[in-house]
Amino acid sequence: MHIVLHMCRRASRQAIGSASKLFRFDKAMPVAIWKRLLSDYFRGNPLIPEYLGAPPLEPHSSVQASAHEQFADEPEKLCAFIALANDSLTAELGIDATPMFLPDGRCLAAVETGGGAVHSFIRSKLDISNAIFLEPVQGTLNLARLGFRASPALAVLISEVVAGVADALIIDANDFGLERVSVALSWPFGDMIVLLSLRGTPELLVAALRQLLTIVDPTKPPSEWIESLAELVQRLAPRSTPVCDLWDVTEGMLSCQREVATHLRYRMEEKLAQKLMADGVFISEPPEDPLPP
């Protein structure tokens, strides 16, 4: 969307013919539906208020309701978000990692998996032994995005992984006291990738995940199953007002918001820790209050 808006700005200074078409409809449509399509398409894009001259929001802040659009305080229990990105996936199953630099300049992959049952399940599918992983923070878990490349068994693999994550989430919700969880999946369609993220309470999120592949067909465009997905979310978590928390939507997915100064706890497997200590990157220190002999 950033690219599209940039092209629209440039078109205002050049020939109209240089503009790019965003989307097209070929049938008659009620004005109310047309307005809904437009507002939903641009919703959450921070460039829109900037383009119209509104005061800038804080970096990475959620979209805020205007003064005349204050909604009732209705807690969000479950929501879903779909986006398309110009990207590619090469691994049959992969996980989105964040680079983390050590004091010696070495870079390690960091993934948010929680370190519990979900982590163990993902580790049974992927080699993440050389990655450091983030524990749940403040009752939240933003599971690192899982990606699937195109293959004849795409739907079967996604179904298997989603079912495993759902089962493991039940255990982690109890062990870590999770209150909010987000799960993001991606897979290719044509020359784009589909990004599907779900966020909510562990119980409702697990319920949605267990029904997800009966509704979502990764071999078909999102336009063919998006309404069914919306009906599933509304059925599991009825809601009368729009979701206003669009945290991370500019990254193409929803996640659980955390305070800026939140203290994060990372862990690593013993083999990796021993190697880093042998290299002098870390120093093993005794506990501050050792137990008496």
Per the prediction, the chain carries an average pLDDT of 80
Give residues with Cβ within 8 angstroms of 196, minimum separation 6: 80, 81, 82, 184, 185, 186, 216, 222, 253
pLDDT at 11 over 50: no
| Percentage of residues of the chain with pLDDT beyond 70 | 76
pLDDT reported for residue 225: 94
pLDDT reported for residue 4: 33
pLDDT at 195 over 80: yes
Name 198's bridge partners. 80, 183
Q: How far apart are CA 213 and CA 170, in angstroms?
A: 19
pLDDT in tens, 32-64: 877 777 777 676 677 777 777 777 655 444 444
pLDDT reported for residue 56: 63
pLDDT reported for residue 114: 93
Rank 82-91, 158-167, 283-292 by mean pLDDT and report only the highest: 158-167
pLDDT reported for residue 184: 96
pLDDT in tens, 225-243: 999 999 999 999 997 777 7
pLDDT reported for residue 13: 42
Domain ranges of the chain: 1-56, 73-263
Mean pLDDT value across residues 212-216: 95
Print burial letters for 114-152: b (CB count within 10 Å at least 16), e (below 16).
bbbbbbebbeebbebeebbbbbbbeebbbbbbbbbbeee
pLDDT at 196 over 50: yes
Sign of the Cα torsion 6, 10, 12, 17 reads negative
pLDDT at 188 over 60: yes
Which one is predicted more confidently, 134 or 41?
Answer: 134
